[in-house]
Structures are given as structure tokens and as C-alpha cells.
Amino acid sequence: MTNEPPIGTAEILDGIRAWVETESHTADIDGVNALMARVAADYVALDAHAERIPGRDGFAGHLLVRSPWGNGPGILVLSHLDTVHPKGTLARQPFRVDGDIAYGPGIYDMKGGAHLAFYAFRHLVRQGRRTTLPITHLYVSDEEVGSPTSRALIEGQARNAKYVLVTEPAREGGKIVTARKGSARFVVTATGRPAHSGARHEDGRSAIAEMARQILRLEALTDYDRGVTVNVGLVAGGTGVNVVPEACSAEVDVRLPSLALADEMVATVLGLEPFDRDVTVEVT
């Protein structure tokens, strides 16, 4: 063990910068895995046990780190290393420091917090100190899309922990987050009747026109007073500009503050009926 140098922003910022500059959009499997490897190597250098968990179903792998001390239920630190920023964002929005604020894709959500947890662990090791409870740090690769491959891993580790600390960012003004909304994802598909847009327009039934009305219906379900937000984030449809579109799909994200509202909103969205009875609407 070596004596701990004074904690300074320069060393912390250098570490955060290195993580930010390793781009890790959820869909960029190589990028996320590269950052996982970097973090694993940083922990191994501190004599921690680092276990790489292989990715699956089109997602990168996860990383489970354990302190070299302690047994039994301890402290689980939970972080994600994937971001919402597509590969190449860094070229347009490079890491920079302006006064007392650092900027960069994914720095707020959540590479800054994830690295601070690592730095706290490194600080303990440098001082030759050990916590009373063992520390486990779980880094996942798919949080930004709902944790489809990490949920079971998270739940399993949480059941074996005495405390769980999540390194997601605070709210405006530094408010501590003590609860998170639930989310529901839907795919809405409209199927109409194709026809030539000029010669046989009257025979067609537009799936896009139907979806446009459904989108307005869905967006109108947003209720800020009740804490419910509905966002139609992806839309695709049609086959050609001169064809009445037969098909259109939309992906919908709903955020919900309670199970009661979740039941209500899920039933509402699953129960969508078409405006045009010649068009079918399906929701999954």
C-alpha cells in the first residue's frame, strides 16, 4: 500500500475523462465492452476480483467487482456504463471543462458518478483501509434501454446485499433521488390497405394517417400533475411516396410513478382502437 496523495479534482477529472472518451452507446457492443475492460483492469490493479459476464441478445457484457476483503451481505454499488449518445458524438461534443463544470457525452448519466465510486474504492485501498462490510460494484451495459439482460443479475446481487448505492446523478439543485418511476414500452402497429396514390387513392386506407391520429391520442395521455409522461419516440412506415401506406409502426415509452397508474395506463394503451375501422391497430 502507498500513502494517499491529497485528493484533487485533476486526478478525478482525468479518470472521468478517460471513461467519457471511451464511447459506449448501448448499441455499440465493442465500445461498451472496451470500457468494461478498462474498468476491470483498473480494479484488478487494486487487487479486487473482477468478473466479466459475457453479453447476449445483442448487448455488451457486464462487470462484477468484489473487494478483496469481507464475506457475507455487504454494500452493493450499482452503475451502468452505457449511454444514450451514438458513437461519434464525442467528435461533436468533446470532453471539456468550463469553470467548475465538466461536459461530455454520458458524463452526467452516469460516467461521472460511476467513476467517483471507483475513485472512492481506490482511495480506501491507497490508505490501506477496509470497510466493515465487503463491497461489490456491478457495472451493467444495458440500463438505458431498460436492463433487459442485466435485470436478473441486479436483482440477484441486491438480494444478497445489506445496502445498495446507485450512482445515478442527482436532480436539479443536487436533490437526492430516493425513488424512480417505472417504465412501460409498447410497439403500436397499424395495417391499412395499399393503393396507388393517384389512380386508386380512394381504394387505399392509410396506416400512416391512422398512426398520426393514434400518436396525438397517446401524447395527450401525458399528465404532469399525476407524474405520467407518454413519448412516441420512433415511427416508421410506408413503402413509397406514390403509394397509400399499408403499414406503420410506432414505439412508445411511458413513465409511471405508481403501480396503480401503471395498471391504468397499460390497460389504456393496450386497449387502443382504430379511428378508421378499415385499418387494424395492434399493440404489444
Backbone angles phi, psi at 226, to 5 degrees: -95, -5
Lowest-confidence segment of 85-99, 164-178, 231-245 by average pLDDT: 164-178
Q: In what order do the strands lie in the sheet with 135-140?
A: 49-53, 62-66, 135-140, 74-80, 161-166
Instruction: Label residue 179 by pLDDT band (50, 70, 90).
Output: confident
How high is the pLDDT of residue 8? 73
How high is the pLDDT of residue 5? 45
Instruction: Label residue 7 by pLDDT band (50, 70, 90).
Output: low
> What gap in Å lies between CA 167 and CA 121, rounded to an integer?
13
Backbone angles phi, psi at 254, to 5 degrees: -120, 130
Higher pLDDT, 173 or 38: 38
pLDDT in tens, 20-61: 999 999 999 999 999 999 999 999 999 999 999 999 999 999
> What gap in Å lies between CA 141 and CA 165, rounded to an integer?
17
Per the CB < 8 A criterion, the answer to whether 230 and 254 are in contact is yes
List, in sequence order, the alpha helices (H) in 134-185: 151-159
pTM, entire model: 0.74
pLDDT in tens, 259-268: 999 999 999 9
Q: State which H helix or E strand residue 92 sits in.
A: helix 89-92
**Mean pLDDT across the stretch 50-75?**
96
Q: Is 66 exposed, middle or buried (0-12, 13-18, 19+ CB in 10 A)?
A: middle
> What gap in Å lies between CA 155 and CA 226, rounded to an integer?
28
Cα 272 to chain centroid distance, Å, stands at: 27
Fill in the amino acid letter for 135: I
**Interior angle at CA 49, CA 47 and CA 51, nearest 5:** 145
